[in-house]
Chains A and B, each alone.
Chain A
Amino acid sequence: AQSVTQPDIHITVSEGASLELRCNYSYGATPYLFWYVQSPGQGLQLLLKYFSGDTLVQGIKGFEAEFKRSQSSFNLRKPSVHWSDAAEYFCAVGADQAGTALIFGKGTTLSVSS
């Protein structure tokens, strides 16, 4: 079955500390992977995406993610968290096929402490 697992429901990080959000996927086809961020009461914003090539991808707001095919993972990282990064983060997987939808994980809520 196709699925995305985000093992951590809620993470608290001190401002200035590093961050890693985990994402594991199960997908039959070659996966295309995405990370989205959502602030309270807002829509979804695309942070970064992986289609092919370099397995370390850079995104907006200083985020990066690394695709590891052997571990079926696509973890999101940031070297130094800012208070404004507090939000909910969603990992998603899709395929290079017209019409196919994204499958989302259940999300990880990030809190930032001062």
Chain B
Amino acid sequence: NAGVTQTPKFQVLKTGQSMTLQCAQDMNHNSMYWYRQDPGMGLRLIYYSASEGTTDKGEVPNGYNVSRLNKREFSLRLESAAPSQTSVYFCASRPNSGNTIYFGEGSWLTVV
């Protein structure tokens, strides 16, 4: 019962480097999400995918791209990392019926 799995858990990047955060869920959920968490800001939605093949911007999409590779996987890419992207990133998924959103364990990203 893996649920929502994110990799890597920890990463340090230099300014300008690129990287991809991977997310996979094994619950056959249609919808997937990427959030970022910053101190005093709660969780803010970066991008989401309501179903396979679709993606939409959330509250804070600038500097990020996403790919819904298939129903299981939803990746988040930083093309040119900036210190402002230092954050904790959470992936989540939701079934088509039912209202509980399931979260991964988070990815701690530091950009220096």
Contacts and interface: CB of A to CB of B under 8 A. Distances in A.
Contact of A49 (B33, B96, B100): B100
Contacts of A96: 99
Contacts of B44: 104
Contacts of B35: 104
A43 B101 contact: no
Given A101-B58, A104-B43, A43 B104 contact: yes
Consensus secondary structure, chain A interface: loop
Contacts of B42: 4, 90, 104-107
B50 A99 contact: yes
B99 A98 contact: no
Given A44-B103, A98-B31, A102-B101, A90 B43 contact: yes
Select the residue from A42, A43, A96 with max chain B CB neighbours within 10 A.
Answer: A43
Given A44-B90, A99-B48, A94 B40 contact: no
Interface residues of B, number: 27
Interface in A1-27: 4, 9
A32 B51 contact: no
A99 B99 contact: no
A98 B41 contact: no
Select the residue from B31, B49, B90, B99 with max chain A CB neighbours within 10 A.
Answer: B99
Given A101-B101, A106-B41, 4 more contacts: A9-B40, A101-B58, A104-B35, A104-B42
Interface of B: 30-31, 33, 35, 40-45, 48-51, 58, 90, 92, 94, 96-97, 99-101, 103-106
Nearest 6 CB-CB pairs, A to B? A99-B50, A106-B42, A104-B42, A43-B105, A104-B43, A99-B31
